[in-house]
Amino acid sequence: MDKADIVKAIMDEIEKKQSPAKAAPQNPGQICGLTEFVGTAIGDTIGLVIPNVDNNIQEKLGIDKKYRSLGIVGARTGAGPHAMAADEAVKSSNTQLLKFEMPRDTKGGGGHGCLIVFGADEVSDVKRAVEITLATLPGFFGDIYMNEAGHVEAQYTARASSVLAENFNAPLGKAWGLLSACPAAIGMVMSDTAVKSADVEVVMQCSPAKGTSYSNEFIIMFSGDSGAVKQAAMAGRDIAVQLLATLGSKPTSAGTPYII
Amino acid sequence: MDKADIVKAIMDEIEKKQSPAKAAPQNPGQICGLTEFVGTAIGDTIGLVIPNVDNNIQEKLGIDKKYRSLGIVGARTGAGPHAMAADEAVKSSNTQLLKFEMPRDTKGGGGHGCLIVFGADEVSDVKRAVEITLATLPGFFGDIYMNEAGHVEAQYTARASSVLAENFNAPLGKAWGLLSACPAAIGMVMSDTAVKSADVEVVMQCSPAKGTSYSNEFIIMFSGDSGAVKQAAMAGRDIAVQLLATLGSKPTSAGTPYII
Amino acid sequence: MDKADIVKAIMDEIEKKQSPAKAAPQNPGQICGLTEFVGTAIGDTIGLVIPNVDNNIQEKLGIDKKYRSLGIVGARTGAGPHAMAADEAVKSSNTQLLKFEMPRDTKGGGGHGCLIVFGADEVSDVKRAVEITLATLPGFFGDIYMNEAGHVEAQYTARASSVLAENFNAPLGKAWGLLSACPAAIGMVMSDTAVKSADVEVVMQCSPAKGTSYSNEFIIMFSGDSGAVKQAAMAGRDIAVQLLATLGSKPTSAGTPYII
């Protein structure tokens, strides 16, 4: 084996380690005896519960006293997939979303991480919400495409629930889509292409100086007829992936694409 | 070949890959058939055009309807060089700068990326502005010096145009300079040295908590007689490079120094 | 030696280089002839002085004219340890803390860097403050635990001085503790556990969207009887380290733990 072979083998290892979402450890069988621990998932995501939150902390967080139990999901990489998964979780559990915060993170990438807090009266309810979030999360990484220069994200739902409605202007029970690209410049062409491809209404728009935590992303969210929303998400995603490819290698999905 | 040789060879590769601006792919001959694509440059910079922007997007961005065509330049690494290049572009094209945003980026480094939008009535005009920006950009990376601990940047123009005037307090048509250093502490000594070295007026000053997107930089911009501005830029740059060297290896230019 | 051995050796090297605080060069004997240079320390920390600051810069910074001499400490990685060290420095020198800023940094990690400015009438005083900060700093990295997924930080003092009082709500002369964890989710369980373990009062609480520079951290600071503060710091630290371990390898201290 010669030097070039070895260098290539190692550089491949490094690429794998540096790709933020792909590199995320997933330890479903991780042994952790703590009752607060629920599980982990892609993106350095951790799921936790506090069965009976301390009054002092509850007050500092401005959380209503009726939410004695908190479910917590946080990640280094990803906010869009987590918003989608949390939306499913609230739909299917007796909980309320109390916080959705977006640190400027992604371990050197250009996007966000997240901190999500669910509240309920019973610990079994928040635990269920955290479990659903962790279980559905990998699916929502399917339309995240990355290379060494940036990323493209598409999300789509036929029926938005309260998490998307309260945080991202989705009309409750209606179709809603999200497109995001880094570097942000790509996101502008992506957005223009998306809204021209189908009859959708832009309900929210973010850029490095507006609505993000100074991430290097241009983001649009849109609603409309479910076919139109899906069409717009696909059109925007496809042009953005082509543009991102001009800055490096072919962007690859962090999971299995679901918007098809 | 023994193990130590191999390790050294590979660590050199990794250094190269991790140096943000140096690692930036430059694919001038990149084949991309999209009409929106103009080109790429150092710093993961991409140049794009939207010939006829969608009304919905235009409104969300608060862009005057007379700017039907948009030229877009964005990067993971760099805001200073892009401001200089965009200033040249607006000087030499029939366009207007509509946005200059600074994400907290640089792919794990301590500085900014950028998102720049030019507007015009004709797509040929914005395309020209993007082309000039991409073409002049590498020159403005010449006085960016980096090592594994941070970076130092110096910029200088004898005649500032509208981009620098509207965004960075440069007196129109007069000499203007910029100095930035990361970690920010170095930038304070750099700034003090610069303004003591020549008769210049500080027109803008930024630090992690003021005027930056929480980047780890201390920045000053200054104007005055063109000889004085150049002298201040050189004096600040030179002490900052010496100080940065105490935290790691000898800082190296990301191009060919032009302030000489 | 076979390929697997080589790959492992090199990946170990890379881990070392990428661990933000550990990778920080420490060049106590670094030769730098500049009178402004004081020294360097862990976390890409640099210590500097400006004996007689320029009036123009002083005004831009809003610094009272009586502080002619400035002492400056800045880092890519770390704000908590620097706050502790600066608190010691002000206690033991004839200086005043003028600025404590927290860039969103840590070289790809999820936390903060810092920029600290001390002021005095005499350069010998600010130099002394910088020297004390650099000398005591490594000790305060002792209860920072890191792995590839994030970090946990604990700090404790039996007697807070003005830096902690003015910037972090510590009661002057009383016991004060800090706990921080990344990803932020871990910090919520850490905080709940800490305040339940001992009779302490939460004096400050930060999260990605509140009180941080969009870092991926959940932070609490607390006061009380010195035994209680220490107990809370240890209880929070210990559960956070266990939780962080579920996302990757066993977190290791960046120095020698001091809260024991």
B104 to chain C: which residues are within 8 Å by CB? 104, 214
Chain A touching partners, 3 or more CB pairs below 8 A:
B, C
Residue A230 lies in a domain: yes
Return mean pLDDT, chain C.
92
- Cβ-nearest to B53 among A185, A192, A247: A192
Between A11 and C204, the higher pLDDT residue: C204
Under an 8 A CB cutoff, do C189 and A50 touch? yes
Integer Cα distance of A81 and A84 in angstroms: 5
Determine which of A216, A222, A239, A243 to mutate to test the interface with B (most B C-beta atoms within 10 Å). Answer: A216
- Note the pLDDT of residue A17: 47
DSSP three-state, residue C70: strand
Of A140, A172, A199, the residue that ends a domain is: A140
Q: Are residues C128 and C152 in the same domain?
A: no
Q: Is A3 on the interface with C (CB under 8 A)?
A: no
- Note the pLDDT of residue B32: 85
- Note the pLDDT of residue C30: 57
Q: Are residues C116 and C213 in the same domain?
A: no
B129 contacts B154 by C-beta, under 8 angstroms: no
pTM of the model: 0.90
The nearest CA of chain A is from the CA of B255 a distance in Å of: 19
Where is B100: in which H helix or E strand? Answer: strand B96-101
Residue C174 lies in a domain: yes
A36 contacts A50 by C-beta, under 8 angstroms: yes
Q: Are residues C34 and C127 in the same domain?
A: yes
> Which pair of structure tokens corresponds to residue C166?
């003015």
The 8-class DSSP code of residue C68 comes to -
State residue B215 phi and psi, 5-degree precision.
Answer: -75, 160
- Note the pLDDT of residue B2: 58
Under an 8 A CB cutoff, do A149 and B30 touch? no
- Cβ-nearest to A57 among C184, C191, C209: C191
Q: Are residues A31 and A135 in the same domain?
A: yes
Q: Is C201 on the interface with A (CB under 8 A)?
A: yes
Of C89, C112, C140, the residue that ends a domain is: C140
Q: Within 13 A of A230's CA, how many CA atoms are on the CB side? A: 11
Integer Cα distance of B204 and B211 in angstroms: 9
Q: Is C184 on the interface with A (CB under 8 A)?
A: yes
Q: Label residue C32 left, alpha or beta by phi (over 0 means left) and psi (-120 to 50 means alpha).
A: beta
B30 to chain A: which residues are within 8 Å by CB? 246
Q: Are residues B182 and B81 in the same domain?
A: no
Q: Are residues C57 and C136 in the same domain?
A: yes
Q: Are residues C124 and C24 in the same domain?
A: yes
The two beta strands, A252-253 and C175-182, are unpaired
Residues of chain A with pLDDT under 50: 1, 16-29
Contacts across the A-B interface (CB distance below 8 Å): 147
Nearest one of A81, A112, A128, A82 to A256, comparing CA atoms = A81
A107 contacts A87 by C-beta, under 8 angstroms: no
Closest residue in A to C9 (Cα–Cα)? A10
Residue A2 lies in a domain: no
| C80-91 helix and C123-140 helix, angle to the nearest 10 degrees | 140
Q: Is B14 on the interface with C (CB under 8 A)?
A: yes
> Does residue C249 carry a pLDDT above 60?
yes
Residue A6 lies in a domain: no
Q: Are residues B25 and B131 in the same domain?
A: yes
Q: Is A13 on the interface with B (CB under 8 A)?
A: no
The nearest CA of chain A is from the CA of C77 a distance in Å of: 14
Closest residue in B to C105 (Cα–Cα)? B110
**B102-125: burial string, b at 16+ Cβ within 10 Å, e else:** bbbbbbbbbbbbbbbbbbbeebeb
- Cβ-nearest to C6 among B3, B188, B216: B3
C232 contacts C177 by C-beta, under 8 angstroms: yes
Residue identified by tokens 């803390």 is C97
Residue B189 lies in a domain: yes
- The interface predicted TM-score of the complex, written ipTM, equals 0.90
Under an 8 A CB cutoff, do B205 and C60 touch? yes
Residue B99 lies in a domain: yes
Q: Are residues B136 and B24 in the same domain?
A: yes
Q: Are residues B133 and B168 in the same domain?
A: no
Of C72, C106, C140, the residue that ends a domain is: C140
Under an 8 A CB cutoff, do C185 and A113 touch? no
At A100, the amino acid letter reads: F
Q: Are residues C196 and C167 in the same domain?
A: yes
Nearest one of C144, C146, C219 to C178, comparing CA atoms = C219
Q: Is C206 on the interface with A (CB under 8 A)?
A: no
The nearest CA of chain C is from the CA of A74 a distance in Å of: 5
**C91-100: burial string, b at 16+ Cβ within 10 Å, e else:** eebebbbbbb
Under an 8 A CB cutoff, do C48 and B208 touch? no
Determine which of B76, B238, B246, B250 to mutate to test the interface with C (most C C-beta atoms within 10 Å). Answer: B246
B155 contacts B177 by C-beta, under 8 angstroms: yes
How many folded domains does chain B comprise? Answer: 2
Q: Are residues A99 and A150 in the same domain?
A: no
CATH number assigned to the domain comprising residue C239:
3.30.70.1710
Residues of chain B with pLDDT under 70: 1-30
The string of pLDDT tens digits covering residues B143-200 is 999 999 999 999 999 999 999 999 999 999 999 999 999 999 999 999 999 999 999 9
B219 contacts B212 by C-beta, under 8 angstroms: yes
The nearest CA of chain A is from the CA of C249 a distance in Å of: 9
C-alpha torsion B85→B90→B92→B93, nearest 10: 130
The nearest CA of chain C is from the CA of A37 a distance in Å of: 7
- Note the pLDDT of residue C26: 46
Range of the domain at C91: 20-140
Under an 8 A CB cutoff, do A201 and B56 touch? yes
Under an 8 A CB cutoff, do C247 and A44 touch? yes
Give a three-class secondary structure readout of C122-177: CHHHHHHHHHHHHHHHHHHCCCEEEECCEEEEEEEECCCCHHHHHHHCCCCCCEEE
Residue B130 lies in a domain: yes
Nearest one of B254, B15, B202, B246 to C74, comparing CA atoms = B246
B53 contacts A192 by C-beta, under 8 angstroms: yes
Integer Cα distance of A182 and A21 in angstroms: 14
For residues C16-23, average pLDDT = 45
Residue B13 lies in a domain: no
- Note the pLDDT of residue C134: 98
The string of pLDDT tens digits covering residues C105-160 is 999 999 999 999 999 999 999 999 999 999 999 999 999 999 999 999 999 999 99
The string of pLDDT tens digits covering residues C21-68 is 443 444 444 578 999 999 999 999 999 999 999 999 999 999 999 999
